[in-house]
Amino acid sequence: MKPVKVGICGLGTVGSGTFNVLKRNAEEIARRAGRGIEVAQIAQRRPNPHCDTGSTPITADVLAVADNPEIDVVVELIGGYTLARELVLRAIANGKHVVTANKALIAVHGNEIFARAREQGVIVAFEASVAGGIPVIKALREGLAANRINWVAGIINGTGNFILSEMREKGRTFLNVLAEAQALGYAEADPTFDVEGIDAAHKLTILASIAFGIPLQFDKAYTEGITRLTTADVGYAEALGYRIKHLGVARSTAQGIELRVHPTLIPADRLIANVNGVMNAVMVNGDAVGSTLFYGAGAGREPTASAVVADLVDVVRAMTSDPENRVPHLAFQPDALSDHPVLPIESCESAYYLRIQAKDHPGVLAQVASILSARGINIESIMQKEAEEHDGLVPMILITHRVTERHMVEAITALEALDDVIGDVVRIRVEHLN
Ligand code: HSE
C-alpha cells in the first residue's frame, strides 16, 4: 500500500521532534499503522539545526501545505490562534485530516473546528495538546469510556511545576526560577501563559470536555496564577504536611462543572504531590475505576512528538473507517453533548489554607474563629508562629474544611476588617484528592 503523505507545518521544537521520530522509527510505525507515513512537505520559516530534512520539499507558506493535493494529513505545529486556525480550517475544507499539538487553538476554537471536520468527514487529532507525551486524552476518551467521571485534577504546566519545585526544594524566589525555565525552553512564548495558569486552563478545558461530554468552554475556566506565592507559604504548607502545586481541577457536581486552575495545597503523601520539576501528572477519578494517575513528560521535543506520531498512526488506521463510526473528537457523540453548566468560581467548593497577619493581642484568635464559625466554616488545623521581629505581627495559619468559595470570600472580607488583622489574608485552596 502507498505511504500516507504528511505535511508538517512548523519545524520548531515539536516539529523537528516529529520529523526525527517519524524517520528514526519509520519501520516500527509502518508495522503498527499498516502503511508507511512519509513527510512529503514541510513549512518552516527557518532551518532547525536539530533536524536534517534531506530532500523533503520545504515551503515558507503553511497554507501551501493545506492546499497541496499530494498531502493526506496536515500536522499543525505552528502554535497561536490566528494563522493556526486558518491553516486547520483550510486543511479541513480541502478534505485533509489534521493532527495538532495546539491546546490554545483547540480550547478556544475547537467547537468550530470539530463541526467543520464532521461536515467534511475528516479527523482532527490533538493528543499532544494536553500533557505532552502522556496519552491522557486517549486514556480518558477510550480507556475510561465505561465510567462516569467524577473529577480530573492535573499538574499540566511543566514550567509552573518546575518553579514551585525549585521554590520548595531550594528556597529560590519565583522570578529567579522563571528565568531558568525560559532558558530551558519549556516556557510558552509568552510566559504569562504558564505562570498565570492560562496554558493549564487551555489543557483543563480540553480534559473537562472529554471527561464530562460538554462543549469546550475556555471562557468559563477560572484561572489564578502562581506569581503571588511566597516561599513563606510554601514553607508553612510543608510544616502542615502539604505541598503547593499549580493544579487544574475539573469536577462534576449536581449543580454543574467546576473548571478551575489555581495554586493548591495537596497532602504531601499523595503521589501527585511528589511530581516535581517539569513533569506533568493527571489524576482521573471514575465511578467504576476509582482513581487513576497518568505521569510523564508534559513538554519537550520528543515526548510531545511521541503524542503527535501516535495521532498520525491513529489517523492512518482510521482513514478507511466510516466517519460515523470513529471515536468522537470529544469522546461523546456530538449530538449527545451535555449542557450541564460550568460553575462560576463563587459556587465552587474546596478546603482553604489561610494566612493571617495579626497583632499580638489576646482575643485575636477568638475573633478569627468566631468569624469563620458564623459562616459554618470548620477549622481542620491551626498553627500560630511567634511574632516576626521586623513588624511584631503574628502569622496565624489555618486549614479549613470544605466550604463554598462565596462563604470564604465573605469570611475573608470580615477578617480583613478586624482592627487586629493587618494587610490581606492569604488564601490558597486545598484539595485532598481522595
Ligand atoms: N509551556 C508548556 C509547559 C509547554 O510548560 O508545560 C507544554 O504545553
- Reply yes or no on whether the pLDDT at 185 is more than 90: no
Task: Dump pLDDT digits (tens) for 308-327.
Answer: 999 999 999 999 999 999 99
Average pLDDT, integer, range 370-385:
94
Average pLDDT, integer, range 265-276:
97
> Rounded to the nearest whole angstrom, what is the distance from the C-alpha of residue 377 to the centroid of ligand 1?
36
Q: At what angle do helices 103-120 and 198-212 cross, to 10 degrees?
A: 40
Which among 90, 89, 129, 87 has a CA at the least distance from the CA of 107? 129
Strands 349-358 and 222-223: unpaired
Task: Dump pLDDT digits (tens) for 399-409.
Answer: 999 999 999 99
pTM of this structure:
0.96
Distance CA 40, CA 75 (A): 11
Residues in contact with ligand 1 by the CB-under-6-Å rule are 132, 157-159, 186-188, 194, 199, 298-299
Bridge partners of 259, per DSSP, are: 250
| Model pLDDT, residue 176 | 84
> Rounded to the nearest whole angstrom, what is the distance from the C-alpha of residue 389 to the centroid of ligand 1?
40
Task: Dump pLDDT digits (tens) for 96-140.
Answer: 999 999 999 999 999 999 999 999 999 999 999 999 999 999 999
The full length of the chain comes to: 434
Report the atom number in ligand 1 closest to the C-alpha of 187: 1
> Rounded to the nearest whole angstrom, what is the distance from the C-alpha of residue 159 to the centroid of ligand 1?
6
Compute and round to an integer the Cα radius of gyration of the chain: 24
Ranges 304-313, 319-328, 339-348: which has the least confidence: 319-328
| Model pLDDT, residue 361 | 87
Task: Dump pLDDT digits (tens) for 61-76.
Answer: 999 999 999 999 999 9
Report the atom number in ligand 1 closest to the C-alpha of 203: 8
Distance CA 300, CA 133 (A): 8
Report the atom number in ligand 1 closest to the C-alpha of 280: 6
Average pLDDT, integer, range 214-240:
95
> Rounded to the nearest whole angstrom, what is the distance from the C-alpha of residue 416 to the centroid of ligand 1?
36
Task: Dump pLDDT digits (tens) for 200-217.
Answer: 999 999 999 999 999 999
Which among 382, 379, 387 has a CA at the least distance from the CA of 422? 387
Bridge partners of 265, per DSSP, are: 244, 430
Query: For 405-408, which contacts have Cβ atoms below 8 Å and span 24 or more sequence positions?
Result: 405/345, 405/346, 405/347, 405/348, 405/349, 405/350, 406/346, 406/347, 407/375, 407/376, 407/377, 408/352, 408/375, 408/377
Q: Indicate the top mutation candidate among 14, 136, 159 to test ligand 1's pocket, ranked by most ligand atoms within 8 A of CB.
A: 159
Q: Please list the active-site residues.
A: 203
| Whether the Cβ atoms of residue 302 and residue 295 lie closer than 8 Å to each other | no
> Rounded to the nearest whole angstrom, what is the distance from the C-alpha of residue 119 to the centroid of ligand 1?
32
Q: At what angle do helices 231-239 and 158-170 cross, to 10 degrees?
A: 70
- Cell output for 428: 490558597
Task: Dump pLDDT digits (tens) for 191-202.
Answer: 899 999 999 999
Distance CA 108, CA 302 (A): 26
Average pLDDT, integer, range 135-154:
98
Q: Indicate the top mutation candidate among 102, 188, 206, 245 to test ligand 1's pocket, ranked by most ligand atoms within 8 A of CB.
A: 188
Distance CA 57, CA 39 (A): 9
One DSSP character per residue, 16-50 reads HHHHHHHHHTHHHHHHHHSS-EEEEEEE-SS--TT
Ranges 84-93, 168-177, 258-267, 343-352: which has the least confidence: 168-177
| Model pLDDT, residue 26 | 98
The amino acid sitting at 44 is: Q
| Model pLDDT, residue 275 | 98
- The band of 175, judged by pLDDT with boundaries at 50, 70 and 90, is confident
Residue of minimum CA distance from atom 8 in ligand 1: 299
